[in-house]
Amino acid sequence: MTVEPLPGVPACGLGESPFWHPGEGALYWVDIPGRALHRWHPAAGHRAWPLPTEPGCVAPALDGTLRLAMRDGLWRFDPARGTRERIAAAPYDPATQRFNDGKADPQGRLWVGTYAEGGRSGTAALYRFARGRLERMAGDASASNGLAWSPDGRTMYWSDTRAHTVRAFDFDAAEGTLAHPRVFAAFAPRDPGQPLAAYGGRPDGAAVDAEGGYWVAMFEGARLLRLAADGAVVAEVALPVRCPTMPCFGGPDLKTLYVTTARHGRPDDELAREPWAGRVLRLRVDVPGLPVNFVHDDARGRGQD
């Protein structure tokens, strides 16, 4: 597979949350430490919008705007006007947590996880935005990532990057609730003294293809993995950067895999060897991905403890 960076697009500190907008034929993503929203169109090129706080993720909405999960809450963002309107306050202390990975489910409910800063293990959680409010749906995590749904919509995936683990849940589409949590895939942590080049990485953002393959970016592992429905690794793609963060499927046929990457906080010698660190990479794959889910403002869900 040939891997290349998007042309004319600058590097991010930590790119995240890419999605392909089918109506616009464009790719969106965020730069968390760079506090910016990015858009790339094959003909129109690149555009960025600066933001006042760190964006964890971005998702398209049916009303033509975007939803941004930021350190200080959920926002409706109009890229045509560059305006924001807050729709929900952060359900945590913004001094110790921020929103991170998030996506809409197939029914249009927005799910967003948090990232616990300062080594506060186990304090991050997963929230669902429905009926106009945020509800805590799962917890006991440290770095929420890897949200995705199976093609039949009956399984939801959610990873804790620091724990090197991807969980799976039975997903009730009608109620928007979770049941039967279990370990979908677990990866070995880095041993003390283990060379970074020998480390396989930890699961970060993910996307699912039309056959149910779970494509996950292995942060610090310089690779993408494709996992089968039973969690077995069925394919591996080596990348020219140490820290991929999240893949998504795009292009008219959904067979182009776009991958955001990171350079923020990486050693100088590593960055010297990896000039594409922080860039958005792309490659072609054989199996198309699932299209992005749009947020429905009237999506409903039953509460869950």
3-state secondary structure of 278: coil
User: Cα dihedral sign for 103, 292, 31, 283?
Assistant: positive
Catalytic residue among 204, 230, 269, 305: 204
Contact (Cβ atoms closer than 8 angstroms) between residue 285 and residue 291 = no
Euclidean distance between CA atoms 9 and 102, whole angstroms: 23
Cβ burial, residue 217 (10 Å; 0-12/13-18/19+): buried
Task: Give catalytic status of residue 204 as yes or no.
Answer: yes
Distance separating alpha carbons of residues 112 and 128, to the nearest angstrom: 6
How many C-beta neighbours within 10 Å does residue 200 have?
Answer: 17
**Distance between CA atoms of 159 and 141, rounded to whole angstroms?**
9
Cβ-in-10-Å burial (0-12, 13-18, 19+) of 293 comes to: buried
Catalytic machinery residues = 204
